[in-house]
Each structure stands twice: as C-alpha cells, then as structure tokens.
A and B are shown apart, each in its own frame.
Chain A
Amino acid sequence: MVGKIGRLRSMARSLAYAAWAAAAFLALPGAGAAQELVMGLGGAVTSIDPHFHNLAPNNGVAANIFDRLVHQDENQRLIPGLATEWQAIDDTTWEFKLRKDVRFHDGSPFDAEDVVATIRRVPRVPNSPSSFAISTRAIAETIVVDSHTIRFRTSKPYPLLPNDLSTVNIISRKAGEAATGDFNQGRAAIGTGPFKLIEFVPGDRVVLQRNDAYWGGAVPWSRVTIKTIANPSARTAALVAGDVQIIDQVSTADVPRIKSNPQIAISKTTSNRLIYLALDQNREQSPFVTDKQGALLPNNPFKNRKVRMALSRAINRDAIAQRIFDGEAIPAGGLLPTGFFGTSEKLKPDTFDPEIARKLLAEAGYPNGFAMTIHGPNDRYPEDEKVLQAIGPMFSRVGIDTRVVTLPWANFVTQASAPNYAYSLMLVGWGAGTGEVSSPLRSLLASVNKDSGMGASNRGRYSNPQLDEQLSKALATVDDVARAKLLAEASETAMGDVGLIPLYYQVNLWAHRRGIQYAPRADEYTLAFFVRPTK
C-alpha cells in the first residue's frame, strides 16, 4: 500500500528530524530545555474526555493523546489511523482492519474490543453539551470478526462512515465506563497517541509527555505544554518574547508586525471555513426588508433568484480580501475550496459588477431598489464586523439602502437560528468538519427536516427539491468516485440557484519561531506531533 511506503518515508524523515533537533538544540545557546515545545493557543480547553464536548480546542488536545480509526491529513483527506484499511463489503457493511502491535500508554495492547468500548461509550456520556453521537449514529450493529477486524452494519447505505469515524477518538476498554472527571484527572486519559497526558489545569494549560512507543514514528518533542492565551495581542506578545514557540489564530492586525520580525515565520493554508450570507427565502414578507420609506415590502425579494444574483454581483470580494484581510482570505464561489472532496471545478467567485447588479434588480422588478437591514456577529469570525460594514455600502451602491447591525455571537446566533429565524439577511460561517462538501450541503442548503436532521443550520430556510434529490442520492452512494461527482453536481445546483451567497474562505494562520515548522491544517487544529524542528 502507498500508505506503508509513505509511513516508512515519514519515519525516516522523523528520525532525521530528531537527530537534527538534538544537534540544533545542543548548538543553540540558552535552549536549556531541549526538545520542549510550548504552544500558545487561543481556544480554551474544557475537558480531556474526548467524547464529552465536541469543541475544537478539546478535539485538538485529544488528537495529541488519542488516535482515531481513520485520521485526516492536513487537507482533511482520510488516511490510515488505528485502522490500516477499510472498505464497504456491501452497501450496508463497512469493514475496518485494525493496526497490529499498537499499545496504549499503560502498555496494554489495542484491539477490536477497545473500538467496541469506544462506540458503546460515545452516545452515553452524561451531561454532554455536544456529543459525538452524531458520528456513531449510523452504526446499527458492531461485529467483531477477529481481534483486529471489525465490521459496522448500518441500517441504510452510509458512505460517510469513515469520515464520521475520523472524529471519534479511540479509548482503552478500561476507560469504557469512566466519567468525564476521570479523564480530566488523567486516570482514564489512556490513548494510543503520540503524547501522554501529564497535567490538565482548566483555563491555563495542558502538559503532555512523549509516548516513546508511538506507532506513527518518532515523536519530535519530549514534553509539550499547551497554554491557553485567549487575547490575540497577548498571544503575539508571548511569541515575540519567546515564552511560546508557536501560536494559532494570528490576528490580522498583527500580521505585518510579525512578518517584519526576522525571528518569526508564518505558516498558512486555506481553511475549510466559508464565510457567507444567508438569505431568508421562506417567508412571504421578510421582517427586515422594506421599501425606502420603511414599510414592509409585500413580497420577499430574496425569493427571486435575480435579486440573489444581483446581491452577489454587488459584492467586491477581492476588495474585502485585500483591504480587510491583507490578502489572507480567498474569494469564494462554492462551499469549500477546490481540492476538497466533492467540490466542483466549475464554481468560481462571482465577479464584482454593480452595473449588472442594478440591471438584474430592475429585471426582477426593483428598478429603484429597496431597503434592508443585515445582521451578523461581531466577535465570532476574524474581522466579521468590518466585513459587514464593508458590504453594507456595496449594496447601497446598487440601490439597496442597507443598514448593518452587529451583535455578540451569543445574542446573534439564538436569534438567527431555529426556531426564531429572526433575520432577513445575515453573515455566518461554516467549517466543514468532515472535510467534504456534503457537510455544508446537508446543514446549510438541504430543506429543513427535523426528523432526518437535514438543514439544521439552514438559517435562510432555502429549499430546492432538485438539490434535495441530488443530495440524498449522493448520500446513498458508497462508491467514492460516483459520490464525488454527485456532490459536485449538487453544489452546482445550489450555487447556480444562489441558495446562499459565498463570500470568502478564511486563511488559517500560525506564527512560530524560526527553527520550527508546522504543516498548516485546513481544519484549524494545532497538533504537536506535526510541529517539527526545521532542517
């Protein structure tokens, strides 16, 4: 298998790194704590229990301690984890071959029973504010074939099982009944991952130690401290002062200063997170769309495709990317950057053209435009408020008098989401956790259906029977090539109909001291194993 050769090569590379690291640290004056890595991360870790709270900072820490059956590489493509290979043996059965000679941190060997214990525990964690049950729900039955082969039976064809399982951390069977507190105190935090947990101080730090027996090759750091530094300026300052070696979520404002510092380098990659505008396409009258005198419009203009097109053409995406983000944002025309599974090459960002936008509005029956209020958060996405303040005048320029209202995320999201659906046009973001395009299609664009769990975040309540059909067909197609094609077609349908207005993909930024490097990840995680001393 290609994976095996790749692994050998990466092992050889890791060995070279380790040798280099040792030499470099001996040569560096003042680097007393050899092979120690301190990371300053923005998100606060709330628990070490990998199944308690599906929250990015928690998942990031867990990924250092635990492994999944299937891993995601830095571009979220699926690669072998604790499973060496997997295949659908029929439409409703997935078979996973487990890696042999893997040991947990306590020395006990890993086998199929640990997977069984994990799948059993995931939906049963008490008081979980956001569980991973959604990732194991498709599994109707777990069958242990032998100690290193396991089969999952699903009630209907379910191609996304490997994607879903790439988010589920495998725990030791000994921790199968453990409480969240047991993980936090370290008793149950026994994984197979590259690092062992030493200490978790909520709100402050997580301390990890090298797992010398790691199956995935040499671990570059003997000790890793993950510090929580919520304030972006303080994070930058800690890096510049040398108290931490790498930081995530570099604030756009700090980028020029960091670039000019010879001691510091930046790593970046396009994120899986799309920032977009959702439009109310459900109500006959939308609450924040009025004529220019302030009276509610009798019809909801966003139901007209031409109006949605006009809005999209009125937005100068390049200006937003250049002026607000200093180039660190990518104008978007689809739901995920091309290269991700199921994206369509055909979807390009709409070009900025206020003339065409005005014409489209006139054709739709609004030659003089109308007035509206657009809503968005002011503390959720990088520069979210500035982006909204820039978009407002762009709409006004084509004749739609636009007022911008921004709110703290806590207030905004409750109002914007089911069952309130309070706004007409709003700025929101979506990160595709599974790294493929069915994630935004299912959540943002499929018709809202409580029972099937479709359209859970479809805040504009967009509904297109053609899209629903294409999507359900894709979601029942186990063959990867065929599914990728169906998903690409479904996204073309949705974007051709302007079900939502894509703005830009974020760029994930890390800054680190010279002398180390990081393979930047589309999913925003900062994983210590992939922070490496440079050659």
Chain B
Amino acid sequence: MTVFIIRRLMQSAFVLLIMSLLVFFGVYAIGDPVEIFIAADADQIERERAMQALGLDQPIWAQYGFFLLNAMRGDLGRSFVFNIPSIELILQRLPATLELAACAVTLSVLVGIPLGMYAGYRPQSRIAKAIMATSIAGFSLPTFWVGLMLILVFAVQLGWLPSTGRGQLGEFLGIHSSLFTLDGLAHLLLPAFNLALFNISLVIRLTRAGMRENMPMDYVKFARAKGLTQRRVVFVHVLKNIMIPVVTVIGLEIGQVIAFAVVTETIFAWPGMGKLIIDSINRLDRPVIVAYLLITVVMFIVINLVVDILYSILDPRVRLADAGH
C-alpha cells in the first residue's frame, strides 16, 4: 500500500507540472490580460506601467520560469485584479463551495440511494416508474434552466426562499458556515438542490441497476435460504455489493461538484470558487486560473486515492498494488 501511494504521488507531481505548463501557455495564447483589465481610457504610457507592475513585459518563458521558482516555495502568484495571493483568494472562496458541494452530495446520497433501491426492488410498480421518469428529467434538463425555474417558483411566485446570495453565517467549533443559521440554510437549499439534481438522478440509476443485477444472484438466494430477514438481505448484503460503483461515481462527482459548480454559483450568485474561476477566465487573471486548476488537479488526485482505498475496504479482493498498472 505504501509503495502504491508513493507511486501515485510521483505521478501526481508530473501531472501538476504538465498542467501548469498547459494552462500557463494556454492563457497566454488567449490574449493580453492588460487589455482586459485596464481602464478603457488608459493611454499607452499607463498600459506600459501596468505591464511592468505585473511582470507581463517579460518574455513568456521567463514569466513561466519565475512562476515555477515561486511555485517550489508554495507561492502561486498574486491575482492581477485582487492583489491577493491566488491561493489565499481561492481558500477564501473554498468554504462556500464546500458547503454547497457537501449539501449537494449528501442530498444525492440520501435521496438517490433509497429511491434507487426501491426502483430496483419493485421495478414494475408505478412509483418505480415515476422515479425513473423523473430521473430522466434530472439528467436532461439544463442546470441553468432548472436554477432559474427554482428561483421563479420558490422565490418569486411562492416567496418561500431567498433568490440569491449566501445568507448569514453561524459559528460552530470555530467554523463559519451558513449551515449553522436558519437564514443560511434557507439560502443554501435552492442552489444545493439545483446542484444535486443531476447527481440524484445518476445515483438513482446506478443503484437501481445494481439492485436489479444483484437480487437474482446466488448469494441473495443463499442468504434467504439461510433464513435471514428480507431487510437484512437488502440493506446489508445487497447494499454493500452495489456500493462499489456508487462510491466511485460519488467520489468523482464530489470533485466535479466542487470544481465546476460554475453554473449554479453564477445563477444563485453564490460566492464560491466556481464563480471565481469563471470571472478569472473572463478577466484573464492568470495566477488565479493556474492556481485554481492546480488545486483542482490535486483534489482529484486525492479523491481518486481515497476511492481506491475505499474499494479495498468494500471489496477485499481489490489489491491496491495492482491499481497502478
């Protein structure tokens, strides 16, 4: 296992290097950041000053070399437009995104698995058919549209929930989060559901498929023959077996939800990382884009590692040492 983890980490360092190179030169190819963020009525003299102040007057390879040197020391540069170290900027926004992602993933597990199990357990029932039909809608409706509809129905028409923004933050054990106040939860509900909708559908489908596949299998018949209650058969033995694909997908989806909650965050004006990255791309704020994508890569690497380790716990037949090949 240790060898496996070390090999993984070495691969990761290489991935990070390639990623930084791609992003750095990719953003350079898009355009000149100074053109974007300089005031329109600035003249050539002011433009030159800004280029120099931000180090953009250097040749691109020199800029990259400088970036690499600093990166070794853990400094990924300062945001051009915020004048804040980009890591700090991202970490400021991280809690908002994390709580949104955590709620979305929790929702998808709490709603998706029971519904999926039911749909797989009684596939012919009307309720199961309704669940499956709804899950198709969850897959196919575009997030931004659903988001706007949610605002329209729950904020504009019914007036039950606030339309946008993050609510009041509460403090619990030194952590500031909107999970700890009623106002915060009210603000969180719509965006979390919007973000979760796709994942709920995904989990329903995966769980249902797993149920249908596992129920006729020998070990289920054997468990029944042994005299176990139906409840124990389904919730202990079958559930454990269908969890492997579900865990993989949820793991990947956590990453997706954290890194690319852009649409939901934009529509609900949620001050998270997704909104930061899209703003930064529009402004060509290169230090933030690079730092963000590097952090995302690290996050995916860690999640995959955790998923691999979870596999081996759920299914002892999976050997970690083999996963590297």
Tell me the A residues contacting B by CB distance below 8 Å.
40, 44, 46-47, 52-55, 126-131, 133-134, 137, 180-181, 201-205, 227-231, 233-234, 237-238, 240-243, 379, 408-411, 413-415, 417-418, 430-434, 439, 442-443, 450, 453-454, 456-457
Q: Could you tell me if B37 and A229 are in contact, using CB atoms closer than 8 angstroms? A: no
Residues of A within 8 A of B42 (CB): 54, 130, 134, 456
Q: Could you tell me if B271 and A238 are in contact, using CB atoms closer than 8 angstroms? A: no
B140 on the A face (CB < 8 A): no
Q: Could you tell me if B38 and A130 are in contact, using CB atoms closer than 8 angstroms? A: yes
Residues of A within 8 A of B34 (CB): 129
Can you spell out 19 A-B residue pairs with CB atoms less than 8 angstroms apart? A47-B81, A53-B37, A129-B54, A130-B37, A131-B49, A131-B50, A134-B42, A181-B83, A202-B92, A204-B271, A205-B165, A237-B163, A238-B155, A238-B163, A240-B156, A241-B156, A434-B41, A450-B45, A453-B45
Name the one of A126, A203, A408, A409 contacting B275, with C-beta atoms under 8 angstroms. Answer: A203
Q: Could you tell me if B30 and A129 are in contact, using CB atoms closer than 8 angstroms? A: no
Q: Could you tell me if A241 and B155 are in contact, using CB atoms closer than 8 angstroms? A: yes
Residues of A within 8 A of B318 (CB): none
Q: Could you tell me if A230 and B46 are in contact, using CB atoms closer than 8 angstroms? A: no
Q: Could you tell me if B81 and A53 are in contact, using CB atoms closer than 8 angstroms? A: yes
Residues of A within 8 A of B80 (CB): 127, 129
Name the one of B30, B35, B271 contacting A203, with C-beta atoms under 8 angstroms. Answer: B271
- Distance A278 CA – B268 CA, assembled complex (angstroms): 37
B166 on the A face (CB < 8 A): yes
- Distance A47 CA – B285 CA, assembled complex (angstroms): 15
Q: Could you tell me if A204 and B166 are in contact, using CB atoms closer than 8 angstroms? A: yes
B152 on the A face (CB < 8 A): yes
Residues of A within 8 A of B93 (CB): 203
Residues of B within 8 A of A129 (CB): 33-34, 37-38, 50, 53-54, 80-81
- A439 and chain B: residue at smallest CB distance: B41
- A443 and chain B: residue at smallest CB distance: B41
Give the distance to chain B from A458, nearest Cβ to Cβ, in Å.
11
- A410 and chain B: residue at smallest CB distance: B31
B125 on the A face (CB < 8 A): no
Chain B 147-166, CB within 8 Å of chain A: the 1/0 string? Answer: 11001100110010011111
Q: Could you tell me if B35 and A227 are in contact, using CB atoms closer than 8 angstroms? A: no
Give the distance to chain B from A201, nearest Cβ to Cβ, in Å.
7
- B55 and chain A: residue at smallest CB distance: A127
Give the distance to chain A from B264, nearest Cβ to Cβ, in Å.
11
Give the distance to chain B from A4, nearest Cβ to Cβ, in Å.
32
- Distance A457 CA – B35 CA, assembled complex (angstroms): 10
Stretch of B13-21, B235-243, B276-284, B292-300 on the interface side: B276-284
Q: Could you tell me if B31 and A130 are in contact, using CB atoms closer than 8 angstroms? A: no
Q: Could you tell me if A131 and B46 are in contact, using CB atoms closer than 8 angstroms? A: yes
Give the distance to chain B from A241, nearest Cβ to Cβ, in Å.
4
Give the distance to chain A from B303, nearest Cβ to Cβ, in Å.
25
Q: Could you tell me if A134 and B43 are in contact, using CB atoms closer than 8 angstroms? A: yes
Q: Could you tell me if A130 and B50 are in contact, using CB atoms closer than 8 angstroms? A: yes
Q: Could you tell me if A237 and B53 are in contact, using CB atoms closer than 8 angstroms? A: no
Q: Known interface pairs A52-B83, A237-B151, A237-B152. Does A243 touch B162 (Cβ–Cβ under 8 Å)?
A: yes
